[in-house]
Structure 1
Amino acid sequence: MTKPAPHLITFVLLTALTVISTTMFLPALPAMQSEFGVNEATIGLSVTAYMIAAAGLQLLLGPLSDRVGRRPVIVSVLSIYAASSLVCVFAQDIVVFLAARTVQAVAMTAGILVAAMVRDLFDGPMAAAKLATISSAMAIVPMMAPVLGGFLDVQFGWRSIFVFYALTGAGLLIWVLRDLAETRPDRTAETPERRRMLLREARFWAFAFCQALGAGGFYVFLVGSPFVAAALYGLDSGQIGIGLGSVTMGFMAASALSARTVHRFGPFRLIVVGRLASLLGLGAGFVVFSITTPPVWVFYAVTIWVGVGNGLTLANANALALAVRPRLAGTASGICGALGNLVIAAMSMVTTITLADEASATRLLLLLMGVVGASLFSAILGHRLDRGQGQGA
């Protein structure tokens, strides 16, 4: 460790903000669609446009944090997030709502800056372990956010979710101003030539795609499972919220396991185990749903393997990508985040199209298996490139 770190809770809260901003409102999508009087594709822009905007902002703000520092960028992000959340609360027109919702995408920058700050402070497997610890510590958030979102929608209406967003952003801004110290290394490391060298690193792109596809698979589940659960089992938004939260139990356990074992096995081996576990679990579910329609708990018991696989994959793939050019952690993290959000946006759109005429479990599971398989391929490619340069994972 090169300099004192901010409190762990600060990293956890900043990471949690990216999760609640993308998952908490999902159970309320049908209610929002009904109030604005739009179709599924239009209200779905609250996910896809958000992710596309987040990608552009991360490409901008990640490198900016290498220049001006992590702290001022995070302070600006939280201020904009709180203000745009209030606009969503009072929006009466779908265009105004979607515009404000898109501006909310600045929240996604908090997550990539946490990764950059961890890489500022720690090296190698230690960085992977710290990222996994942060993921494990805040894993209760993706479990509870959809549950809380469904509850708020049922009890107070969907706008109360955006009130919660505004209060969270303002509260976190106050906390960050008090606790967050600057972690950025000497800015002389950030040069146009070094940025170009990063962009030419094939192993960086391989690990970045591994992480992006892992996150994309999670959003295939988040976007697709409510439609499957409603079509097959008739669940309401509150029940769907509980189901959405279930997958993070696997993520929490696997992230904690990764933090404890990465020093022994290395990031790459844990990624492979995570990808294969997801494929086996989802494959078994595909066979079952091809034969019959089992009880609803079976559906979530199968999809929980998405969380298990990501718990062993995401932090490790992120650490391997940022380790390629550690002095450009902000730029690298911004690219990884942007790529992830573009993949998430694309997979969200593919998911809605795939399930548009038939919200079947087999279609959803087959799509998930394809994304997980592609993520595994990217990890193997990155590892071979690493070994070719004498830098085994």
Structure 2
Amino acid sequence: MTKDRHPPDSGMPDAETSGGISKSRFVVLVLLSALSVLPVNIISPSLPKIAMEFDVDFELISLAVAGYAIVTALVELVSGAMSDRFGRRPVALVSLSVFILASIGCAFAPDIVVFLVFRAMQASIAACFCVALVAIRETSDGHDGTSRVGYAAMAWAMAPMLGPTLGGTLDEFLGWRTIFVVLAAFGAIILSLSKRELSETASPVRRGGTYLGAYARLLSSAGFWAYVLVMAPSSGILYIFLAGAPLAVGGSSATLGLFMGMVPAGFICGSFLTGRYGSKVPRATLLIAARLLTCVGLLFGLLLYGVDMTHPLAFFGPCMFIGLGNGLTLPAANMGVMSSHKDMAGTAAGLAAAMSIGGAALIVAVAGQFLNRPATVGTILSAMLIVAAMALAAAVVVAFVDPASRRTN
């Protein structure tokens, strides 16, 4: 029986690629990465109702989002190293199992303390993000992994985009607790698929050493730092946009939400381009081009501001290049981190993710000192352009410290 293959130039994995990954296995890895980000904001529309039911202040219930993000960073920090030590498959299966139990616990929580404890446990699903990234790299040849991570990144963007809509709809018709029942069901389905499709990709050689020794090796690597210094400001630009856009641009919440959706739409486009061309373009070239696109877009926005263009599209149109640049940048940078440290790819992916989150948070905290003043479109665009220039400089450094980034195979 002949196999149904994608066109040779599509970039999508074939039924059985030279890297040894089947279509079904690739789909499972994409689902793992999507589920790892879906719970972040799926409950955002329901937070007021949850606070009301538990009779607590909104500041306390907001820990369900802020606390979740903190635990996610910690999980990513350790889960990658654990997958190097114990293997990708066991870490994914345990993560999914804990997530299912935690989701059920949230659904039936009798009070706020129990709810927040189980909500923190839900962050265990973040381990699947690292597992999916590393498994894609380990089942890909050359730079094919960049293309595959690009396609997976489209799911990273779509999951949090659709999450609040899904959560709000479930809350409206069935109550907020149903959200967690549905998350548990998603987890159970993906757990079943993972047991059948997810094979071990880590070799026994990669499971030795100590955690501290692995972290020390990575932190002493110029290549690792170069990629992290591309990723952190790239994410930091997005955080500045999310924090500053509502302060500088008026209009109704619905209109604002519509315009802000242009940035994740740009990310999806960038991720698709990475999926299509990531295996054909040297990684360093892709990173530099991506960061240049963001800088040019933001500079154009400043020019429009300078000539008194006040329509919201004069701000949000150029900001779309933030998403486009990040969609090109993050898959390539993640692959660079893992490819440069193949013997501890999981540890590298996890540490880079945690450091990127921390770095982005630091960037937006510093930028917030300027945004606290009467924020203008010019102030926000200027802050984002400065950070974008930092990411561009780091992308240029990557080309010098990682010779492999200048090759396509």
* 1:207 Cα deviation after fit: 0.4
Number of the residue aligned with 1:116 = 134
Question: Does the 8 Å CA contact 1:281/1:302 hold for their aligned counterparts?
Answer: yes
**CA 1:110–1:301: 2 relative to 1, 3 Å:** same
RMSD (Å), alpha carbons: 3.4
Letter in 2 for 1:215: S
* 1:357 Cα deviation after fit: 6.9
Number of the residue aligned with 2:6 = none
Q: Distance in 1 between matches of 2:338 and 2:369?
A: 34
Does the alignment pair 1:18 with 2:23?
A: no
Letter in 1 for 2:332: N
**CA 1:275–1:9: 2 relative to 1, 3 Å:** same
Per-residue CA distance 1:125-171 (angstroms, 9 max, x = gap): 12212211222366433443344345445555655544433332222
- What is the TM-score normalised by the length of structure 2? 0.80
Alignment of 1:109-258 (within 5 A): 109-136=127-154, 139-152=157-170, 158-187=176-205, 190-192=208-210, 196-222=216-242, 225=245, 227-228=246-247, 232-236=250-254, 242-258=258-274
* 1:72 Cα deviation after fit: 1.1
Q: Which has the higher contact order (CA 8 A, sep 6+)?
A: 1
* 1:68 Cα deviation after fit: 1.4
Question: Does the 8 Å CA contact 1:55/1:337 hold for their aligned counterparts?
Answer: yes
Number of the residue aligned with 1:328 = 344
Letter in 2 for 1:212: A
Q: Distance in 2 between matches of 1:37 and 1:286?
A: 43
Q: Distance in 2 between matches of 1:328 and 1:382?
A: 19
- Name which one, 1 or 2, has greater alpha-carbon Rg: 2
Question: Can you give the 5+ residue segments of structure 2 that lack an aligned partner in the other structure?
Answer: 1-17
Q: May I ask how many residue pairs the two structures share in their alignment?
A: 386
Per-residue CA distance 1:279-327 (angstroms, 9 max, x = gap): 2223333454577684445554333222101111001111111111112
**CA 1:86–1:252: 2 relative to 1, 3 Å:** same
Does the alignment pair 1:68 with 2:76?
A: no
Q: Distance in 2 between matches of 1:352 and 1:78?
A: 36
Question: Can you give the 5+ residue segments of structure 1 that lack an aligned partner in the other structure?
Answer: none
Q: Distance in 2 between matches of 1:94 and 1:344?
A: 30
Alignment of 1:352-371 (within 5 A): 361-371=377-387
- What is the TM-score normalised by the length of structure 1? 0.83
Q: Distance in 1 between matches of 2:112 and 2:316?
A: 32
Question: Does the 8 Å CA contact 1:247/1:307 hold for their aligned counterparts?
Answer: yes
Q: Distance in 2 between matches of 1:349 and 1:30?
A: 26
* 1:10 Cα deviation after fit: 0.6
Q: If each structure's helix is expressed as a fraction of its own residues, which one has the higher value?
A: 1
Q: Which moved more, 1:358-367 or 1:205-214?
A: 358-367
Alignment of 1:348-387 (within 5 A): 361-387=377-403
Number of the residue aligned with 1:309 = 325
* 1:112 Cα deviation after fit: 1.1
Identity rate, percent:
31
Q: Distance in 2 between matches of 1:87 and 1:171?
A: 18
Does the alignment pair 1:38 with 2:57?
A: yes
